[in-house]
């Protein structure tokens, strides 16, 4: 098996590295000092340069490249700071990928292109006090009551919550206790995305 990067991957890596080293250190220092998310203007610039949604289908506004390409760019931005790498992560690895693969077409069309263009950042709440981010151990539950979904549980934080226009929560619905997902029983215990803009 060949683990060397292709010529195209090396060019992408060089472009990401050059931009990150030249443009991001001062911005990262400010974001970290002031505990702020990247500005909308910076995220839009990432999009204009092709750094958002690298591995998202071109049908939804991404570049349609692979996960390796997305992680190459994320690595170069992350070498500067996770503060400036966060939008790359959220557009290529984070919840937008779950939306791309598992949401209805209408939701995909509304959300994914907006993330790839830098017009939206998706935030997600998964981590809990007793479970960390182990999705099989989460205690937050959703119960359908009539035409409403009642959610009970505690989250530790919301990744991207300070800058996200779309917030997502993935509570198992219709499951009571126990670890892991039950499959094949009408969807009980499956996490269902709950999204609010």
What per-residue confidence (pLDDT) applies to 139?
82
Distances (CA, A) of 91 to 4, 39, 185: 25, 15, 32
Residues contacting residue 3 through CB under 8 Å, at least 6 positions apart:
none
**Could you give the CA distance from residue 124 to residue 74 in angstroms, rounded to a whole number?**
19
8 vs 132: which has the higher pLDDT: 8
Question: Is pLDDT above 60 for 169?
Answer: no
pLDDT of residue 155: 74
Q: Name which of 194, 186, 140 is nearest 167 in CA terms.
A: 194
Q: Does residue 87 contact residue 46 with C-beta atoms inside 8 Å?
A: yes
Per-residue confidence (pLDDT) for residue 151, from 0 to 100:
78
Tell me the pLDDT band of 161, cut-offs 50, 70 and 90. Answer: low
Residues 43, 67: Cα–Cα separation, whole Å: 20
Q: What is the mean pLDDT of residues 51-68?
A: 96
Q: What token pair was written down for 117?
A: 């263009």
Where is 141: in which H helix or E strand?
strand 141-145
Rg over alpha carbons for the chain, rounded to the nearest Å, is 18
Decide if pLDDT at 67 tops 90.
yes
Whether 8 and 73 have beta carbons less than 8 Å apart is answered as no
Q: 127 pLDDT exceeds 90?
A: no
Highest mean pLDDT (candidates 45-54, 125-134, 135-144, 177-186)? 45-54
Using one digit for the tens of pLDDT, what is the confidence trace for 99-126? 898 888 998 999 999 999 999 888 777 7
d(CA 106, CA 7): 37
Distance between CA atoms of residues 15 and 177, nearest Å = 48
How sure is the predictor about 183, in pLDDT bands with cuts at 50, 70 and 90?
very low
Say if CB 67 and CB 55 are below 8 A apart.
yes
Per-residue pLDDT at 153: 80
Residue reference for tokens 């039950």: 182
DSSP codes joined into one string, 94-106:
SHHHHHHHHS-HH
């Amino acid at each position: 098996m060949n683990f060397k990067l292709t010529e195209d991957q090396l060019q992408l890596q060089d472009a990401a590295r050059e931009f990150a080293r030249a443009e991001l250190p001062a911005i990262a220092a400010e974001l970290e000092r002031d505990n702020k998310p990247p500005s909308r203007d910076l995220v839009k610039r990432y999009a204009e340069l092709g750094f958002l949604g690298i591995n998202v289908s071109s049908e939804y506004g991404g570049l349609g490249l692979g996960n390796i390409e997305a992680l190459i760019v994320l690595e170069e931005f992350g070498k500067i700071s996770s503060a400036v790498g966060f939008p790359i992560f959220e557009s290529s690895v984070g919840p937008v990928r779950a939306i791309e693969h598992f949401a209805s077409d209408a939701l995909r069309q509304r959300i994914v292109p907006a993330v790839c263009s830098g017009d939206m950042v998706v935030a997600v709440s998964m981590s809990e006090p007793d479970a960390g981010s182990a999705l099989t151990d989460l205690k937050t539950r959703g119960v359908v009551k009539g035409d409403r979904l009642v959610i009970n549980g505690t989250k530790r934080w919301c990744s991207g919550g300070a800058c996200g226009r779309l917030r997502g929560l993935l509570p198992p619905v219709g499951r009571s206790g126990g670890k892991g997902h039950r499959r094949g029983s009408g969807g009980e215990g499956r996490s269902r995305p709950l999204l609010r803009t």
